[in-house]
Amino acid sequence: MNYQPQRSWRGDRWSSLDLSVVSDLPTPALLWDVEVIAANLERMIDIAGGPDQVDRLCPHVKTHKSRDVTAMQVDRGIRSFKASTIAEAAMAAEARAADVLLAHPLVGPKAEAVVRLARQFPATRFAGIIDSLESNDQPAPTIPSYEIVLDVYIDVDVGMHRTGVPFGNELNQVRSRIIESESLRYAGLHVYDGHLHQASRQRRNDSARLILDQIRSDLDRHPTETIILGGSPNFEFWAAQTSAVGGADTGTSTRWRLSPGTTTLWDIGYAEMYSEADFQIAAALLTRVISRPGSDLLCLDLGTKAIASEMAIADRFVLPAIPDATIVAHNEEHAVIQTDRRSDFAIGQPLIALPRHICPSVCRYPDAHLIRDGRITHDRWTITARDRWPSDW
């Protein structure tokens, strides 16, 4: 498949989608356009350097949480993945992933759970992250009883201040402790730059270069097997800077893996902020008008339980059919919008809504209804890792 860039963040596909076929489809519902997902995957591979460099990708599965989408990636040669939950890690293994990094601290029962996954899926290499001497002591007592050695990455804090340890003496102490451990193996560094979300590409790149300088300095002193780095906003920067051809790759012995996530489905939040990125919105929500409570008001069945709602009320979604609509109230099962076109929309009329943040919107649904060849079908894909732990555990 040859990727063809399309820069319209709203997209003609969603504006022109035939909704006359959804009379029997309960709302709210999650919709995925399979062709657009495929195009986004091809674009990811292209940014990584093409099919010959596909092993540089280690995409995060938290956006889609779907075994079927993961299988699409595996079929294209992507074999390494990042996960946030045990259920996501298990899902990736079920889809024949070769490597899975659980990018969440191995605290509580998670260390034992990762070991259990390693025994359940011997064809997949699992790894975890550690960011302190204290967190190092969490999995260490658990692992020996299973007679395996667990790969761990040091989670590096490069400015987000969420998890991780900054480059320097403390990181070196954690690394030494791992190397001395009989049950843990130092696999490399996990470097997430989630705090870099400036709208200006130049400003993001300048900030990322400072991180790259820190990585280079650390590699000069401590050769490292693998570095998993970045997210979606700086995906293209990291791909270019760590490319063995034309980039600033620091030594041929280090394997650089790129870890975008939202690029698989994309959303209007990223599309508006990063307009230069050639990804398309592959996911939307189907909603209906359920009431017309005022002369300029419509009420939809798209409440806070149906869509990501961590941002300000007015910023939570966009309606392609009513682009000037303003969200004025949002409750558990209701969304009230204000529009001068209230009379154009009847009670029961279906509408497409584009979430500003797709990742936490997806996990509100048990499955996604598929769009193929521009038409909504009766096919569905399960949101396999909707829960944090596998359902059969």
Do 210 and 303 share a structural domain? no
Q: Is 376 within the bounds of a domain?
A: yes
**Domain boundary residue among 205, 240, 259?**
259
Note whether 149 and 223 are same-domain residues: yes
Whether residues 122 and 178 share a domain: the answer is yes
End-of-domain residue from the set 259, 289, 310: 259
Is the model's pLDDT at 172 over the cut of 50? yes
Place 8 in a pLDDT band, splitting at 50, 70 and 90: very low
Tell whether 184 and 291 lie within a shared domain: no
Give me the domain span that covers residue 314. Answer: 22-29+269-382
Residue 152 has what pLDDT? 96
* Residue 148 domain flag: yes
pLDDT at 285 over 90: yes
pLDDT of residue 2: 41
- How does pLDDT run across 343-387, given as a tens digit for each residue? 999 999 999 999 999 999 999 999 999 999 999 999 999 999 999
Q: What is the mean pLDDT of the chain?
A: 93
The reported pLDDT for the residue numbered 145 is 64
pTM, 2 dp: 0.94
Q: What CATH number is given to the structural domain containing 313?
A: 2.40.37.20
Assign 142 a pLDDT band (cuts: 50, 70, 90): low
Question: What is the reported pLDDT for 7?
Answer: 41
Q: What is the pLDDT of residue 4?
A: 41
Q: Does 183 fall in a domain?
A: yes
Residue 88 lies in a domain: no
- Looking at residue 244, what is its pLDDT? 64
pLDDT of res. 148: 85
Number of structural domains in the chain: 2
Q: For residue range 209-245, what is the model confidence (pLDDT) as tens digits?
A: 999 999 999 999 999 999 999 999 999 999 999 986 4
Specify the CATH number for the domain of residue 173. 3.20.20.10
Residue 282 and residue 254 in one domain: no
pLDDT tier for residue 134 given thresholds of 50, 70 and 90: confident
Arithmetic mean of pLDDT, 184-213: 97
Tell me which of 241, 259, 277 is where a domain ends: 259
pLDDT digits over 248-280, tens only?
Answer: 554 557 899 999 999 999 999 999 999 999 999
Q: Which residue has the higher pLDDT, 108 or 142?
A: 108
Report yes or no on 360 lying in a domain: yes
Domain presence at residue 264: no
Percent of the chain with pLDDT over 90: 87
Same domain, 254 and 291: no
Kindly tell me if the per-residue pLDDT of 12 is higher than 90: no
Residues 169 and 316 in one domain: no
Mean pLDDT to the nearest integer, 34-56: 98
Quick one: which of 148, 152, 184 has its CA closest to 165?
Answer: 152
Q: How confident is the model at residue 392 (pLDDT cuts 50, 70, 90)?
A: confident
Do 246 and 106 lie in one domain? The reply is yes
13 located within any domain: no
Confidence band (pLDDT; 50, 70, 90) for 205?
very high
Q: Is residue 87 in a domain?
A: no
Residues 242 and 293 in one domain: no
pLDDT at 3 over 50: no
pLDDT at 143 > cutoff 80: no
- pLDDT for the residue numbered 11: 54
Are residues 365 and 232 part of one domain? no
Q: Are residues 274 and 250 in the same domain?
A: no
The answer to whether residues 105 and 220 belong to one domain is yes
